[in-house]
Amino acid sequence: MTLLTNSLKAVLISSLAAAPAVVMAETAEEKGLRIAEEAKASDLGWKDMQAQMNMILRNKQGQESVREIRMKSLEIEDDGDKSLSVFDKPRDVKGTAFLSFSHPVGADDQWLYLPALKRVKRIASRNKSGPFMGSEFAYEDLSSFEVEKYTYKFIRDEACEGGNCFVVEQYPVDKNSGYTRRVVWLDQAEYRPWKIEFYDRKDSPLKTLTYHEYKEYEGKHWRPDLMKMVNHQTGKSTDLTYQGYQFKTGLSDSDFNKNTLKRAR
Amino acid sequence: MNSQKLLPWLLAAGLTTALPSQAETYYEMSGKVTADLRYFTQDGQFANQDYDTNLSFTVEPEFYWEWNDGADTLTFTPFLRVDENDNERTHADIRELSWVHIGDDWELRTGLRKVFWGVTEFQHLADVINQTDGVEDFDGEDKLGQQMINLSLVKDWGIVDLFLLPGFRERTFAGEDGRLRAGLVVDTDQAEYESGAGENHLDTAIRWSHTIGDFDLGAYWFHGTNRDPKLVARNINGKTVLVPYYEQMDQIGFDAQATIDSWLWKLETIHRDTSSENYWAAQAGFEYTFYGIQDSAADLGVLLEYGWDERGEEADAAVQNDLFMGARITLNDAESTEILGGISHDLDYDSQSLIVEASRRIGDSWKVSVDGRFFSADDQADLSYNFRQDDHLQFTVERYF
């Protein structure tokens, strides 16, 4: 009951807060963009981050398969993040490492290190829509959020798990995206995503991603411990969990080059 | 002190100074064991090759230590293969025994290591540091560990690698009872060197590599013992054998890849200067990937490469005027299923070889693969004429731990 009144209150407050915007005749597109900009701005300043990422892949029959990845990222001002990921499981790809310099617009720069051959390979970053390690997460689902990657349309306010949410449609700018649109639920207090519905190239419902167990780091950076992706077309799902988040550990540009890629392990 | 002995001494001295004072050491062991069965469709064309199946096992553990918050690491990777028929293929190697010390913008890597240079898929022309472990497979992708001291410097204008390579590893060749070899057996015990220092010659190399936008570039100079021996026919104890003769060489190499949208454009070129010859050679081509074919998660990559050697038919290299075509299907499924097919066509000798490889993971620690290799050659001057009865299928099971 308290929950309901609270969220009712939140709806009332947010509609009051939204009122001046209506007066200024902000379009749904402008409001969608403004929310994205505010969401991005609210998380700026995390500098660098390290975490352990585990995936549990489940097929239709419920058979499970595990992926274990360690990752480091570096926030780059006025550009996309740099990141370095190392695979621990499955064991046949242990030591394989992935270096990525992402860019808000245009192709990302990506290199793969193959430990058996000791070979660094620059790879095409065009396959944004491809599955990451056989999971239900596409590469584009795991890349950093940049405002320029989408155009926007505010749909409505709606109560959600995180309190009261903005519901915004995002239309990928990149023609290689696997989606026509994403519908995103962001809470109005902290701009945390709680749910994303993905629509495929034919605009049919494809996947739903939900965010769980948010924790706050460094007083402003909210990160989920668990993300669940369900594919409605195949019946497969992937749970993505994060452990041991560390922020501002002192990483710099020199931790993200071909030499660090080769010894990432 | 000869150069062979220099390295263990340096490794030991370096490690003693760098060793952890407290027990802040991280240790990890991993590795794999494999079993593979080759099935040859016919008996070999040479003596002692009258078998159709060959069973072989390998074990390759990796021991890893890390201390000083990861600023010092030690890796030890021994390797052993036991082969049913070929005594030469039954062999052991230290793939890696190296200590790496990491500074802010530099690394010092000391010990037995493997280094890969290059960008193309069908031939690794620019890759020069490590000796080929020729008994492993005929594709030349398997390498022996090389003794080295490698200082790597990260600069704004690229990465510079300086190498001192004390001591040389001889190439391994199939023995009398091995398949996939020439008619005359290579007697590796008789190896000869141009340098008076023999296998103790101190080789040096310097390489620059850098990324500029869509381009990944590399250039190097190598001075030392040519990893590719001349094979000289000799009569030893009344038997004609091939004796490897290792010349000194200076080689410059250049490799480049342009990564543009779904295209990878690749080029490797070398100029090799030895006392018996000097020549240019190149391997160039592209890889184009169709992503999400037929609305599935699968990708299809098509590859086309051309290999050229200035010496033409005089070349003792397998690639002198050869065209390579390949296709790679990656299902992007949970089992990482992959199928690769490749055809090489020798435009001088009009011979072909076909390679098909398929692999997938089973569970979290197993991997199985099936490879097929088929050769067609009818010119005796063609190196692949030796393999014309060595068509085979290979079934491999790998267990990772």
> CB of B398 within 8 Å of any CB in chain A?
yes
Tens digits of residue pLDDT in A24-60: 678 999 999 999 999 999 999 999 999 999 999 999 9
Tokens of B245: 């003769």
Nearest by CB to A258, which of B32, B159, B292? B159
- pLDDT tens digits for range A204-230: 999 999 999 999 999 999 999 999 999
Q: How confident is the model at residue B17 (pLDDT cuts 50, 70, 90)?
A: low
Categorise residue B84: left if φ over 0, alpha if ψ from -120 to 50, beta otherwise: alpha
| pLDDT score for A128 | 83
pLDDT band at A8 (very low <50, low <70, confident <90, very high): very low
Cα B55 to Cα B37: distance, rounded to the nearest angstrom? 5
User: Residue type for A163, please?
Assistant: G
Chain A hits for B400, Cβ within 8 Å: 90-92, 94
Q: Is A60 on the interface with B (CB under 8 A)?
A: no
Residue numbers in A near B401 (CB within 8 A) = 91
Nearest CA in chain A to B295: A201
End-to-end CA distance of chain B: 40
Listed range (A66-70, B31-35, B126-130, B317-321) with the worst mean pLDDT: B317-321
Residue B310: strand, helix, or coil: coil
In 3D space, the residue among B162, B76, B69, B67 whose CA is nearest the CA of residue B111 turns out to be B76
Give the domain CATH number at B159.
Answer: 2.40.160.10
Task: Give the nearest chain B residue to A66 (CA atoms).
Answer: B364
Is there a contact between B367 and A94 if contact means CB atoms under 8 Å apart? no
> How many structural domains compose chain B?
1
Q: Note whether A249 contacts B: Cβ–Cβ < 8 A.
A: no
CB pair distance less than 8 Å for A130 and B299: yes
Q: Is A9 on the interface with B (CB under 8 A)?
A: no
Chain B touched by A61 (CB under 8 Å): no
Chain A, 128 to 157: residues with Cβ < 8 Å from chain B are 129-131, 134-135
**From B100, B211, B332, residue closest to A131, measured CB to CB:** B332
Chain A residues lying within 8 Å of B299, measured CB to CB:
127, 130
Interface test with A, best of B98, B107, B148, B259 (most A CBs within 10 A): B259
- Give the span between the Cα atoms of B98 and B109, in whole angstroms: 7
pLDDT band at B317 (very low <50, low <70, confident <90, very high): confident
Whether omega for the bond prior to residue A90 falls within 30 degrees of 0, making it cis, is yes
Strands B263-274 and A64-74: unpaired
The verdict on a CB contact (< 8 Å) between B30 and A91 is: yes
The full DSSP string for B88-118 is: TTSEEEEEEEEEEEE-SSEEEEEEEE-----
Q: Number of A:B CB contacts under 8 A?
A: 94
Q: How far apart are CA A208 and CA A228, in angstroms?
A: 8
The one-letter code for the residue type at B113 is R
> Are residues A134 and B64, on separate chains, in Cβ contact within 8 Å?
no
Which residue of chain B comes nearest to A107, CA vs CA?
B261
pLDDT, residue A105, reads: 83
Shortest Cα–Cα distance, A235 to chain B (Å): 14
Cβ atoms B267, B284 nearer than 8 A:
yes
Q: End-to-end alpha-carbon separation of chain A, Å?
A: 51
Give pLDDT, residue A246. 95
Backbone φ and ψ for B30, nearest 5 degrees, come out as -150, -175
User: In the structure encoding, which two tokens stand for residue B234, read together?
Assistant: 């000799």
pLDDT at B243: 96
Q: Which domains does chain A have, with CATH numbers?
A: 2-67+127-248 (2.50.20.10)
Yes or no, beta carbons of B261 and A126 under 8 Å apart = yes
Q: How many residues does chain A have?
A: 265
To the nearest whole angstrom, how far is the Cα of A97 from the nearest Cα of chain B? Answer: 16
Tell me whether residues A257 and B209 touch, CB distance under 8 A. Answer: no
CA distance B34 to A116: 14
Nearest partner of B224 among B130, B143, B310, B107, judged by Cα: B130
Instruction: Give tens-digit pLDDT for A134-170.
Output: 999 999 999 888 999 999 999 999 999 999 999 999 9
As a whole number, mean pLDDT of residues B198-226 equals 97
Q: Report whether B159 contacts B150 (CB < 8 A).
A: no
| pLDDT at res. A5 | 46
Structural domain that includes position B219: 3-400
Mean pLDDT score of chain B: 93
Residue B127, pLDDT score: 97
DSSP state of A81: P
CA–CA gap between residue B387 and residue A22 (Å, rounded): 79
In percent, the amount of chain B with pLDDT more than 70 equals 95
Number of Cβ atoms within 10 Å of the Cβ of A173: 13
Which B residues 240-269 touch A at CB under 8 Å? 257, 259, 261-264
Question: How far, in Å, CA of A124 to CA of A107, rounded?
Answer: 8
* Any A CB within 8 A of B30 CB: yes
Q: Does A254 touch chain B (CB under 8 A)?
A: yes
The single residue listed with the structure tokens 């990141």 is A83
**Token digits of residue A32:** 């969608």
